[in-house]
Structure 1
Amino acid sequence: MIQYAHFFYDYFRDLGLTRVTSKYLNMLVLLVLTLIFILILDLLVRKVLRLISAKIASRTKSNFDDLLITNRVPRNIAHIPALYIAIKSIPLVFNDFANLHLLFEKCMQVAGIVLGLWIVRSLLNTLKNYFKTLPSLRDKPIDSYIQVFMIFAWIVGAGLAMAVLVGGDSLWKFITGFGAATAIILLIFKDTILGFVASIQVSINDMVRIGDWITFEKFGADGDVIEINLATVKVQNFDNTITTIPTYALISDSFKNWRGMTNSDGRRIKRHMLIKQTSIKYLNNEDIERLKQIEIISTYLSTMQDKINNFNTSHGIDKSSLINGRNMTNIGVFRKFIQTYLEQHSAINNNMLLMARQLQPTSQGVPLEIYCFSKDKRWESYEYVMSDLFDHFLAAVPYFDLELFELPSNSTFK
């Protein structure tokens, strides 16, 4: 090709132009022709690759090749022939201009590095989108991994570009001086570095996955994780707002992940009623006979009544006063009623912990807590089951001659 370097030079000399003018005009004409040829070649190669890739994608069952087209991998690869021709044509166009020859050669080499980075980026984006379609990787922080690889690629690309522009010896001096500014760089990129370390720890320890329900009170987050990347974690709250949490906050602060609950066999119901202490009493025989009308505790009352009577008789207990000997209480029978009702309820998991317990008395009464697990863990179903249970228990309180505590209101005084 070098023999054509002065193709137009002789023509301009024949026209009577000076040697310098002929050299510049020769260079400009060759440059324009080369640019036109490169643009046409780039356009043709792009169209050919687009047609070929579209046909291949339409014939395959995998969606990987479709993602390659979506992320413009063939389009970026199509620039390679044009770039190659541009690099090879530099000696031809700038044959008489050594400085321009060196400058354009370095620029084309840097352009090649940038093009390589764009191809790597489009490939990594394709892999990211493809991995997200796989069930086994759908809940993994793929974005963080891809960002780490992309940062590494940009660092390598920047180093290669610097080596091209300043030369090997100058690059080594630059890197040596760069070490002195490490502290400043660490300060500037603190969040990125912390996010990088945190994303690795989050992934290794399996702390958060895409789709997990997390509660992070410090940031006001309460919802499902929709994205995990190098710097942030996005949570879609139940009111459809989006909360952005720094990734390193998952390591430095405490948050609640509900995955254990969703993977378990039930969702916990833990709620109490406040019973007025003055309404608690021993049950006499008339009270017991009346409560035997409640079917689910009828057998229990008969059995306990016989046991208590036998104990009191065998020990010669004076039952002229109810406080003597063993007795049943209305709150104790109510607890048994709750326990039995829960055991027979179809929405409660009997294989998990289930109890009705009495907590420490307070100034507002005696807390009677229901502790069990709903089989259905969906929020709306869970709330329905819990409300249905307490509707029944609250309505049953008066049948046991018990009263619920509530702060006085105008109707109370009336």
Structure 2
Amino acid sequence: MHNLLEKIFGWCYILFRKWGFGDTIAAYLSLFVNIFILSVISYYIYRFFRLFLVTIMSIVARKTKTKFDDLLISNKTAMYISHLIPLLFIYISVPIILNAYNYWETIFGKLVGIYIVLLILWIIRTIFNALKDHLKSIVKFSDKPIDSYIQVIMIVLWMLGIAAIFSEIFDIKIEKLLTTLGAISAIILLIFRDTILGFVASIQVSVNDMLRIGDWITMDKFGADGDVIEINLATVKVRNFDNTTTTIPTYSLISDSFKNWRGMQKSEGRRIKRHILIKSNSVRFLKNEELDNFLNIQLINEHILKKKIEIDKFNSQNNIDTIIPLNGRNLTNLGLFRKYITKYLENHPGLNKDMILLCRQLQPTAQGIPLEIYVFSKDKNWENYEYIMSDIFDHVIASVSFFDLELFELPSEGRGVFIPN
């Protein structure tokens, strides 16, 4: 190869000397001619390999079922490789063309070497980008933080590339350069602190399956409430339900708490847990004649009849004086209301009856008695879920007055009346 290049670039100096030019003029003229020849040959090498590689890759892409080669084409891998081949030819030819010009040979050789290193890194980057897009199209890897892993690999490669560039510029062996970098590792750790933290966090997130692309998460600290659309080495992107985007540092997922709704989405229902406040002074015992009126409510008429028989039997056997309601057993309007709500929930078509279905009384507060509904909707879609929950509480609130109960409300402030002069 070296002899061939000497024949290609050595003839013009001899020719100019034969034509009678002096040594210096012949050297400069041959230099310009050789540079021109080098440019022309490099250009045609580039054109040939670009056409050859793109054509070959296109043919292979059409005949294979995998989409990886299509992604290599879309990422222009073949085009960058076609740049590399003539660059290598130039790198080999420079010492021959500039043999008599040591200073310029050194400078030009170093520049070409640096460009070769950068181009190789760029080619590797396009291959990894194609690999990333290919893995994301596979269901098995679609929810994995592929971006994080590729970014880590590229950071390592860029560090090696920068080391190679410094080695080329200062003529230092790369082993010595890496030893020096090891000595200043504390500074490197400080510079790449967020990257290292993000890398460790992304590994923990992946290994522990804490987060996947497509998960719905809530993180109040960063105002995030939506679907995860991207997991990178340093950040996690969340598309909120108002179509804004929140960027969260990856390591915050380990250091801070967040809510992942994946479990709910995979379960058989979405939880409804909400309460209303009943005024405590509206709770009372029910008289027999009042129970007769409640028999018209179909959902609880059987329950009332059954309880009425039980209570009458108990009070009769124990000679209870029923004139005072505190004696013996009696039904309360709140207890009957709870039973009605339970029956209503059991018959609601939007709830999952195989999961917990509960209407319970919580610890009384200064605002009244909390009556909580704890159920699971069949439909987990946010819009439909809100509709089901609103439908239930519309009915519950409207039903309160039928049982002679009252909801707690803060007293509204009186508005002054304007009296004209």
Give the secondary-structure state (helix, strand or coil) at the position aligned to 1:6.
Answer: helix
Whole-angstrom CA distance in 1 between matches of 2:92 and 2:226 = 57
Partner of 2:205: 202
CA distance in 2, matches of 1:184, 1:144: 23
- Map of 1:146-165 to 2, 5 A cutoff? 146-165=150-169
Extract unaligned runs of 5+ from structure 1.
none
Match for 1:48: what amino acid?
Answer: F
Matched residue type, 1:304: K
Deviations 1:215-265 (A, max 9, x none): 111111111111110111111111111111111111111111111111111
Mapped to 2, the partners of 1:23 and 1:15 lie a distance apart of: 13
CA distance in 2, matches of 1:227, 1:61: 27
Structure 2 residue 71 is matched with structure 1 residue 67? yes
Pairing partner for 1:236 from 223, 239, 260: 239
- 1:22 corresponding residue in structure 2: 26
Q: Separation in 1 of the partners of 2:281 and 2:92?
A: 99
Gaps spanning 5+ residues in structure 2: where?
416-421
Identify the residue that residue 47 of structure 1 maps to in structure 2.
51
The answer on whether the counterparts of 1:5 and 1:95 sit within 8 Å (CA) in structure 2 is no
| Percentage of matched positions with identical amino acids | 50
Asked if the contact 2:163/2:178 (under 8 Å) is kept, the reply is: no
8 A contact 1:352–1:372 mirrored in 2: yes
Task: State whether structure 2 residue 386 is matched by structure 1 residue 395.
Answer: no
Aligned residue-pair number: 413
Letter in 1 for 2:224: A
- Cα distance in 1, alignment partners of residues 256 and 17 from structure 2: 78
Distance in 1, Cα, partners of 2:130 & 2:326: 79
For 2:286, which of 261, 283, 286 is the aligned residue? 283
Cross-structure match for 1:82: 86
Q: Residue 39 of structure 2 aligns with which residue?
A: 35
**SS at the partner of 2:367?**
coil
Q: Following the alignment from structure 1 to structure 2, what is the Cα–Cα distance between the partners of residues 206 and 278?
A: 51
Q: Distance in 1 between matches of 2:404 and 2:235?
A: 56
Structure 1 residue 160, shift from structure 2 partner? 3.1
Determine the C-alpha separation between the residues in 2 that align with 1:294 and 1:288: 10
Provide the TM-score with structure 1 as the length reference: 0.94
1:316 aligned residue: 319
Asked whether the equivalents of residues 357 and 370 of structure 1 are also in contact (C-alpha less than 8 Å), the reply is yes
Q: 1:7 aligns with which of 6, 11, 25?
A: 11
> Match for 2:219 among 216, 232, 253?
216
Contact 2:84/2:120 (<8 A) preserved:
no
Conserved 8 A contact 1:210-1:227: yes
The question of whether the paired residues in 1 share the 8 Å contact of 2:54 and 2:79 is answered with: yes
* CA-CA distance at 1:173 after TM superposition: 4.1
CA distance in 1, matches of 2:356, 2:254: 32
RMSD across aligned positions (CA)? 2.2
Distance across 1 between alignment mates of 2:164 and 2:221:
43
Give the distance between the partners of 1:210 and 1:31, measured in 2 at CA. Answer: 53
Amino acid at match of 2:268: D
Equivalent residue, structure 2, for 1:190: 193
1:335 to partner: Cα distance: 0.4
Structure 1 counterpart of 2:130, one-letter code: T
CA 1:247 to 1:406, structure 2 compared with 1: closer, same or farther past 3 Å? same
1:126 aligns with 2:130: yes
Is residue 361 of structure 2 the alignment partner of residue 342 of structure 1? Answer: no
Q: How far did residue 48 of structure 1 move? A: 2.8
- Select between 252-261 and 90-99 the one with higher mean Cα deviation: 90-99
Code of the residue aligned with 2:210 in structure 1: it is M
Kindly provide the amino acid, as one letter, of the partner of residue 195 in structure 2: T
Mark the CA change 1:156 to 1:71 in structure 2 (over 3 Å): closer, same or farther. Answer: same
| Match status 1:263 vs 2:247 | no
| Equivalent residues of 1:148, 1:196 under 8 A apart | yes
How far, CA to CA, are the matches of 2:87 and 2:14 in structure 1? 29
CA-CA distance at 1:36 after TM superposition: 1.6
Alignment partner of 2:230: what SS?
Answer: strand
Q: How big is the shift at 1:307? A: 1.0
Query: Which of 403, 406, 410 is the equivalent residue of 1:407?
Result: 410
The SS at the match of 2:11 is: coil
